[in-house]
Structure 1
Amino acid sequence: MTADLRHLRAFLAIAEEGTITRAAARLHLTQPALSRTLRQLEAHLNVRLVDRSTHHLRLTAAGIAFRDRAAAAVAGVDEVLDPTRAGTWPLRLGHAWSALGEHTTTLLRRWPRAHPETPLELLRVDERDAGLARGRVDVAILRGPVDLPDVVVESVLREPRVAAVPVDSALAARAALRLADLADQPIAVNTRSGTTTLELWPPDRIPAAAVEVANTDDWLAAITAGRAVGVTTTATAAMHPHPAVAYVPLTDAPDVTVHLAWREPPSHPAVADLLALTREICLG
């Protein structure tokens, strides 16, 4: 038997839902049919993907490794078969927040002049790898470490950190701040894709509270409402100016390195062109 796209979709539904029952309902299949499809895929690969020894299914180590590859393959097929994209092959550049900061507009304006035949799509994906693992993007802008198979990572920028505080707070009037100046405030922490954790502070000045958020919009909302202060980079100040938020330089927080990441072999023929243009813009 040869596995096909149907087997990959079945496996991904099981991986996401955690049970055969919910996955079968999602796919409008009977439970025996879905279980049979999973066994066929495992037989084809000659590896166990799902541990069925517990009531709540868990992926094996091989299943976890296979999940990202399967997701990327399904996303690629869906992209090719999307009728709204027929006749075009857009290059997808992903980011979790703030893209390339002040360099973003330059890239988006120069790309169509240099490569009019290839649309460039800038996509925000609220995941630490900006959608690269699941095949949602061809190149990702990443802040922070990433460990993905067959992925090349290259640093292109270093961004200073800044504090984000409500504009009517006493902190907003300061020319510069230190991490200790924020320690008495709740800290907005993006747990899905952010680079700030409470471990950024010295052990003797760790903030007492964190306000957990899942994306940049919720992070900004927490700060504008006066529920928290934040730590980010100059890219956020460039991409998300807000009349209720003041961005103040932080003098003792380490810079954040910005990376480009892509798969080898590349998932789009224009990846090399995008890398070259981005290096030219960011590195000069």
Structure 2
Amino acid sequence: MSIELRHLRCFLAIAEEGNLTRAAARMHLTQPAVSRTLAALEKHLGARLVDRSTHHFALTPEGRAFHDRAATAVAAFDAAADPERLRHRPLRLGHAWSAFGPYTTPLLRRWQREHPRTPLELLRIDDRTAGLTRGEVDAALLRGPVDTPGLATVQLATEPRIAAVPADSPLAARETLTLADLAPETAILNPVSGTTTLDLWPPDARPSATVTVANTDDWLTAIAAGRGIGVSAASTAEMHPHPDVTYRPLPDAPPVPVLLAWRDAAPHPATEALVALAREISGTG
């Protein structure tokens, strides 16, 4: 068997719909035909791409890697076959939390005004690369270091870190806090998309207890409920205010870099314009 474009499109539909029946409807095929295409791909590649059962459907690690390559290949073909259509397709911009901070609205408004034929869609995806490596977005606003292979990045800004504490905690009464002030507390950590780990504290002065969450909403809820404290970038206070959470400066913690990232291979045609505008708005252009 040789892999053809139709096989890649079918696999992408399966991955994005998360269901063979919906993928078949999207591709205007029968479900058995979609199942045969998936089986043929897996046989050709010598790897299981989808872990599927009656109550479970998810890409395997091999499936996620193949998804990125397939999305790149299809995008490259579409660009070659119909560059005018691709140039004006929506530009999907992912973020895991806080987007571009105070620059979010200026970026969206300027883009709409200057590039009306290419909509900019801002999507929150709870993932370390905000959906970029999975092909769910074309570019992403990320915080913290990014060393994922195949991604290009440009640093747009740095943000100071802040502490997030329960509003009724004695810590909330202070004007500023230090890492040492937070060390006796339970640390609420988001390993899925957050940038804070126990490595932020000195080895001999780290919180002894942690609570793990999967997204910003759960992080805020845990802090508001008094289960512990959190550390984040300054824009979190602006983008995610909460009546039961108090944010305080944390001047002895290192700042967080804010990056714009995109895939090296076959980027969206409007990526260069997005980079230029983001750098201009943030003052790094």
| TM-score, length basis structure 2 | 0.78
What's 2:27 paired with? none
What is the identity percentage for the equivalent residue pairs of Structure 1 and Structure 2? Answer: 56
Instruction: Give the superposition deviation at 1:192.
Output: 0.6
1:94–1:7 distance in 2 versus 1, CA, 3 Å: closer
1:75–1:136 distance in 2 versus 1, CA, 3 Å: farther
What's 1:173 paired with? 173
Cα deviations by residue, 1:44-76 (Å, 9 ceiling, x for unpaired): 5xx53349xxxxxxx999766424323566899
What's 1:48 paired with? 46
The answer to whether the Cα contact below 8 Å between 2:10 and 2:37 also exists between their aligned partners in 1 is no
Give the 5 Å matches for 1:171-250: 171-250=171-250
Q: Distance in 2 between matches of 1:283 and 1:125?
A: 26
1:110–1:23 distance in 2 versus 1, CA, 3 Å: closer
The answer to whether the Cα contact below 8 Å between 1:49 and 1:60 also exists between their aligned partners in 2 is no
Residue 134 (structure 2) pairs with residue 134 (structure 1): yes
Instruction: Give the superposition deviation at 1:149.
Output: 4.0
Q: Distance in 2 between matches of 1:9 and 1:177?
A: 53
Instruction: Give the superposition deviation at 1:23.
Output: 7.9
1:252–1:114 distance in 2 versus 1, CA, 3 Å: same
Structure 1 counterpart of 2:153, one-letter code = V
Q: Which runs of 5+ in 2 are unaligned?
A: 25-29, 50-58, 78-87
Q: Distance in 2 between matches of 1:280 and 1:118?
A: 19
Residue 164 (structure 2) pairs with residue 164 (structure 1): yes
Q: Distance in 2 between matches of 1:189 and 1:61?
A: 24
Alignment coverage as a number of residue pairs: 267
Residue 272 (structure 2) pairs with residue 272 (structure 1): yes
Q: Distance in 2 between matches of 1:76 and 1:218?
A: 38
Q: Distance in 1 between matches of 2:96 and 2:144?
A: 11
What's 1:66 paired with? 66
The answer to whether the Cα contact below 8 Å between 2:129 and 2:142 also exists between their aligned partners in 1 is yes
1:147–1:203 distance in 2 versus 1, CA, 3 Å: closer
Cα deviations by residue, 1:183-242 (Å, 9 ceiling, x for unpaired): 121111112100011121111111111111111111111111111110001010121122
Instruction: Give the superposition deviation at 1:115.
Output: 1.7
SS in structure 2 at match of 1:204: coil
Give the 5 Å matches for 1:18-97: 34=35, 37=37, 40-41=40-41, 47-50=45-48, 65-70=65-70, 89-97=89-97
What's 2:4 paired with? 3
Instruction: Give the superposition deviation at 1:7.
Output: 5.9
What's 2:98 paired with? 98
Q: Which runs of 5+ in 1 are unaligned?
A: 52-58, 78-87
Instruction: Give the superposition deviation at 1:92.
Output: 1.1
State the Cα RMSD in Å: 3.9
1:210–1:74 distance in 2 versus 1, CA, 3 Å: farther
Instruction: Give the superposition deviation at 1:125.
Output: 0.6
